[in-house]
Amino acid sequence: MRFRIGNGFDVHRFSDDPDRVLVLGGVAIPGERALHGHSDADVVAHAVAEALLGASGLGDLGRLFPDTDERWAGADSLDLLAEVMRRVHDDGWEVANVDCSVIAERPKLAPHREAMEVGLGRVVGAPVTVKGRRAEGIGGLGRAEGIACFASALLTAAD
């Protein structure tokens, strides 16, 4: 049996645009400060996609969906993740599981964690776990200047 492991990381700073909506792991969280980015800035979905691309050796998000390409402006990152999954499947891989650590001073993730896990799991086709951590006041993340996410993905050969 063949296995491949991948890690993914992403970070986005908070936006000053009051019209943007915070999206984490595909879950819209209105009333919270949104993240700045070319797409919906879903830092969790991006880290998951990077982990899957790393495990499969298929590149990275920046190469697949360049932020110079207007097609991805305001993109729903779950759609980007679905496209990554299509490529991962086409390359002969299935996902065993994905695990995420989100580093955020705010918002509180606990009320949204299950919805993120269900929504991401539906796209990935495997269990996805999401854990929230705070940065203990250290650095830009600790000063709530943005949100970061680490993700690990395990793939198994489909045959």
Nearer to Mg ion, 36 or 131 (CB): 36
Chain position carrying tokens 């691309």: 53
By CB under 5 A, tell whether 10 contacts Mg ion: yes
| Segment contacting Mg ion by CB under 5 A, of 4-12, 24-32, 68-76, 110-118 | 4-12
Smallest gap from Cβ 66 to Mg ion, in A, equals 12
d(CA 72, CA 138): 33
What is the C-alpha end-to-end distance of the chain, expressed in Å? 9
Q: Does 113 bind Mg ion (CB under 5 A)?
A: no
How far apart CA 22 and CA 44 sit, in angstroms, is 11
Any contact of residue 112 with Mg ion (CB under 5 A)?
Answer: no
CA distances from 40 to 6, 26, 73 (A): 23, 9, 8
The C-alpha torsion from 101 through 149 and 92 to 122, rounded to 10°, is 70
Minimal distance in Å, beta carbon 74 to Mg ion? 13
Site string for Mg ion, 69-98 (x = CB under 5 A): ------------------------------
Specify the residue, 20 or 96, whose C-beta has the smaller distance to Mg ion: 20
Distance CA 58, CA 54 (A): 7
Nearer to Mg ion, 82 or 96 (CB): 82
The token duo for 74 is: 């305001």
From 7-15, 50-58, 125-133, 151-159, give the range in contact with Mg ion by CB under 5 A: 7-15
**Which among 18-26, 39-47, 116-124, 150-158 is the span making contact with Mg ion, rule CB under 5 A?**
39-47
Q: How far apart are CA 77 and CA 40, in angstroms?
A: 6
Token representation of residue 116 = 């993120």
> Any contact of residue 46 with Mg ion (CB under 5 A)?
yes
Write out the residues near Mg ion by the rule CB under 5 A.
10, 46
